[in-house]
Amino acid sequence: MSANTPKSGLTYPSLSDPPNVPQNMNTLATQLDGIVIPKYASASAMTAANGTPAAGDMCYRTDLKAYMTYDGSVWTQVSNTGWQTWTPTWSTSTGLHLPSYGNATVSASYLHAWRSCFFNIYIVFGSTTNFGSGATTSDNWHFSLPPGIAPGPNFSSGAVFPGSCWGGSDGARVPCHGWIDNTNNFILNVDGMRVDGAATGNGAMDSLTPFTWASGYILQFSGVFETTT
């Protein structure tokens, strides 16, 4: 008569059972297939291998360096090995007068776990940074979200993140805040005058707001938002 292991309930034959190696190996392999955590290199590979996943199924995504679990409707990232880096795509709301980083120092990192994304962006613009030839105050800056991450319904077009920008000196620092717009990009808004009391341009941030940006100027903002997975 067969028996079962105490923790996982794996079936194994007893010494009194007639020998049947192929069947026993098949039984063991089938049971292990539901217990061993498989690895996939992409979302498409994960989906292809799990045609009809069950709630509680788990896998490891090597591209994300994270475990995923199926909650009955969607795959959710449940852990990450640490902070990862990315370079946000820098564009404009109009799609015109596009800027480019050049030799700017771009430090952007994020941690995605438990349907949350923590992020920090710190940019020191350089001597070859192009702020967009002919840019106007209508060309508001956009910065892309970390790759493969979509904001959840409670934060899309509504998440607000603190930030600041420096115009070449401590006195020229200006508070700002960011949020995620309906195109899933970070955008920034200037919150008031410089810390030294001098007036600056207000409104959505662009190449001319809150001041005419130049080499050595700094932009920083960080926050956390709900994600769909």
Number of domains in the chain: 2
Residues 109 and 140 in one domain: yes
What pLDDT sits at residue 95?
97
| pLDDT per position as a tens digit, 80-98 | 667 889 999 999 999 999 9
Tokens of 70: 């199926």
Say yes or no: 197 and 117 in one domain: yes
4 assigned to some structural domain: no
One domain, residues 91 and 73: no
Greater pLDDT, 15 or 222: 222
Work out the average pLDDT over 117-135. Answer: 96
Q: Are residues 28 and 141 in the same domain?
A: no
Last residue of a domain, one of 51, 77, 103: 77
Same domain, 102 and 58: no
133-137, 157-161, 204-208: the lowest-pLDDT one: 157-161
Residue 170 DSSP label: G
Contact present, 148 and 216 (Cβ < 8 Å): no
- Residues 125, 73 share a domain: no
Q: What is the pLDDT of residue 8?
A: 62
For residues 203 and 92, membership in a common domain is answered with: yes
Q: What percent of the chain clears pLDDT 90, i.e. is strictly above it?
A: 41
Which residues, in sequence order, are CB contacts of 74 under 8 Å at separation 6+?
228, 229
119 compared with 27, residue with greater pLDDT: 119
Residue 5 lies in a domain: no
Encode burial over 48-75: b for 16+ CB neighbours within 10 A, e otherwise.
eebeebeeebebebeebebbbbbeeeeb
Tell me which of 77, 104, 124 is where a domain ends.
77
**Is the residue at 3 inside a domain?**
no
The pLDDT tens digits of the residues spanning 149-201 come to 888 876 655 567 888 888 776 668 888 888 898 888 999 998 877 777 777 77
The answer on 71 and 128 residing in a single domain is: no
Where does the pLDDT of residue 67 fall: very low under 50, low under 70, confident under 90, or very high at 90 and above? confident
> Residue 32 carries which DSSP code?
H
Q: Is residue 116 part of a domain?
A: yes
**Based on the domain organization, do 123 and 108 belong to the same domain?**
yes
Q: Does the model's pTM come out above 0.85?
A: no
Give backbone dihedrals phi and psi of 190, rounded to 5 degrees, phi first.
-75, 135
Q: Which domain holds residue 60?
A: 11-77
Same domain as 131, residue 189: yes
User: In 3-state terms, the chain is what percent helix, strand and coil (to 5)?
Assistant: 10, 35, 55
15 pLDDT higher than 80: no
- Looking at the structure, tell me whether residues 212 and 118 fall in a common domain: yes
- Residue after which a domain boundary falls, among 61, 77, 93: 77
